[in-house]
Amino acid sequence: MKPSRKFPLTRLRRNRQSANLRDLVAENALSSDDLIQPIFIKEGLKGKESIEPLPGVSRLGLDVLNEEIRELESAGIKAIALFPVIDSSKKDDKGSESLNEDNLVSQAIKQIKEMSEMVIISDVALDPYTSHGHDGLINADGYVDNDLTLPVLTEQALVLAKAGADIIAPSDMMDGRVKSIRDAFEAKGYVNTLILSYAAKYSSKFYGPFREAVGSSANLGVGSKDTYQMDVSNVKEALQEVAMDIEEGADIVMVKPGMPYLDIVKAVKDEFSIPTFAYQVSGEYAMLKGAIEKGWLSEEAFMESLLCFKRAGADCILTYAAKEIALELNK
């Protein structure tokens, strides 16, 4: 039976009197175990290079990658997501460089594996590698062709698994790619490589700074990803996407973007018992960081935004602020 909560027997403010009391009754908490740091690595770069629309985030050369991993470890971060910025001369309409076993990402994975236990998540999608900036292959009609793309994504996933990625993360939104990759992993002996599926990934305007960071925005031009990424207006379709990816063999599912899509995180978490991650994407980071840098928001707004992901049901959050927030949490 629900107690009747009548004033003044019930004063909800009693529980809020002090910080210690508030902590005792808190329903959710954020810890550095919940944070994943995305990292941009750039081919041929020595040192770091700042990214204008992502203040405080840099592209890293492989020469400074180990140092960054050590810093993340000491901040308490346990996983990273790698994103390559390859030489533009290596981009073509088929994204061929994604299948090169010695490409930038493979090198980075091997390098990190030699020095750290850090969990490595690696994206599966062709956009960092294609001259047109799309995640898949384009057919004669100019359409991003699902079934033509599947074997390439599967091959890309195998390259990443072979290099030593712990988790591969298809972010391309082709239908059937999780099954295709899972089957290939079973057949080739990568039975313990996880698949983190970007299951509910929306065709969002919040990815702008990321596309700038990996250099795919110029290639994509005015083209959109509307024919494969999800329509912003849909909720039930997200549940269908997630259900299919679980059935196809995903170990973890992801919702993306994050903050404007917390209703989707909650819907997925309520419906399925599978680890559910959310991606606080580049545009969300830029909004928050931009306003904080201007002094229009206090720095604590960032922490608040991440706690809200936990409240919605996210088990883990990919955020460009992971290191900085982890340092703050573990102070």
Q: Which of residues 137-166 bind ligand PBG (CB under 6 A)?
A: none
Token pair 């980075």 is found at 108
Query: Which one, 225 or 310, has the nearer CB to ligand PBG?
Result: 225
Closest of 222, 254, 317 to residue 30, by C-alpha: 317
Shortest Cβ 25–ligand PBG spacing (Å): 34
- For ligand PBG, which stretch binds (CB under 6 A), given 66-74, 119-127, 155-163, 246-254? 119-127
Pick 34 or 135: Cβ nearer ligand PBG? 135
Nearer to ligand PBG, 42 or 225 (CB): 225
* Selection from 29, 35, 38 nearest residue 281 by Cα: 38
Stretch that binds ligand PBG, among 93-101, 122-130, 140-148, 258-266 (CB under 6 A): 122-130
170-229 residues near ligand PBG, rule: CB under 6 A: 171-172, 207, 210-211, 225
CB-hemisphere CA count at 13 Å for 161?
Answer: 24
- Out of 42, 179, 225, 256, which one is annotated catalytic? 256
One of 78, 201, 289, 323 is an active-site residue; which one?
A: 201
Complex with ligand PBG: residue 154 or 171, whichever CB lies closer: 171
Contacting ligand PBG within 272-301 (CB under 6 A): 281-282
Q: Where are the alpha helices (DSSP H) in 78-174?
A: 104-115, 146-163
Q: Which 219-238 residues touch ligand PBG, going by CB under 6 A? A: 225
Residue 105 tokens, joined: 């990402």
Question: Shortest distance, CB of residue 116 to ligand PBG, whole angstroms?
Answer: 23
The string of DSSP codes covering 127-141 is TTTBTT--SS-B-TT
Q: Which is closer to ligand PBG, CB of 210 or CB of 261? A: 210
Least separation, in Å, of the C-beta of 123 and ligand PBG?
Answer: 5
Min. distance of Cβ 211 from ligand PBG in angstroms?
6
Q: Are 238 and 230 in contact (CB under 8 A)?
A: yes
Work out how close the CB of 248 gets to ligand PBG at its nearest, in angstroms, rounded to a whole number: 18
| Dist CA 254 CA 275 (whole Å) | 9
Q: What share of the chain is helix, strand, coil (3-state, %, to 5)?
A: 45, 20, 35
Count, residues near ligand PBG per rule CB under 6 A:
12
Count of residues making up the chain:
331
201 is catalytic: yes
Let me know if 78 is a catalytic residue.
no
Instruction: Look at strands 48-50 and 58-60 and give their pairing.
Output: antiparallel
253 contacts 246 by C-beta, under 8 angstroms: yes
Q: Which residue is nearest to ligand PBG (CB)?
A: 210
What angle separates helix 65-75 from helix 104-115, to the nearest 10 degrees? 50
As a whole number of angstroms, the distance between CA 97 and CA 281 comes to 25
DSSP type of residue 59: E
Candidate list 43, 135, 248, 324; residue touching ligand PBG; CB under 6 A = 135
User: Which residues sit at the interface with ligand PBG, rule CB under 6 A?
Assistant: 123, 125, 127, 135, 171-172, 207, 210-211, 225, 281-282
Q: Which residues are catalytic?
A: 201, 256
